[in-house]
Amino acid sequence: MKEKVKEALEKIKPSLEAHGGGVELVEVTDDGVVKVKLTGACGGCPMSQMTLSMGIEKTLKEEIPGVKKVEAV
């Protein structure tokens, strides 16, 4: 599943980078939790929680059935 998550994050990265931000994969747990680090402008942005849940988490859940949730670390 980790490789699928990496591929999906590569599709998301350009939209984050367009706003000066980014995302790095930290870990994919056995129970379907994806842990990511928001970087650049995303790291301190007040909208980062919305980006995480409505953007990154939504996309990963749609593309990879085993993903249960996404957490920022």
pLDDT at 13: 92
- Each residue's pLDDT tens digit, 5-51: 999 999 999 989 998 999 999 999 999 999 999 999 888 888 888 88
Residues 35, 29: contact at Cβ < 8 Å?
yes
pLDDT for 43: 83
- Strands, DSSP E only, in 1-73? 21-28, 33-40, 69-72
Q: Given a cut of 90, is residue 69 above it in pLDDT?
A: yes
Beta carbons within 10 angstroms of residue 31's beta carbon: 8
Q: Which CATH architecture has domain 2-72?
A: 2-Layer Sandwich (3.30)
Domain boundaries, the chain: 2-72
Counts for the chain of helices (H) and strands (E), in that order: 4, 3
pLDDT value for 14: 93
63 — pLDDT class (breaks 50, 70, 90): very high
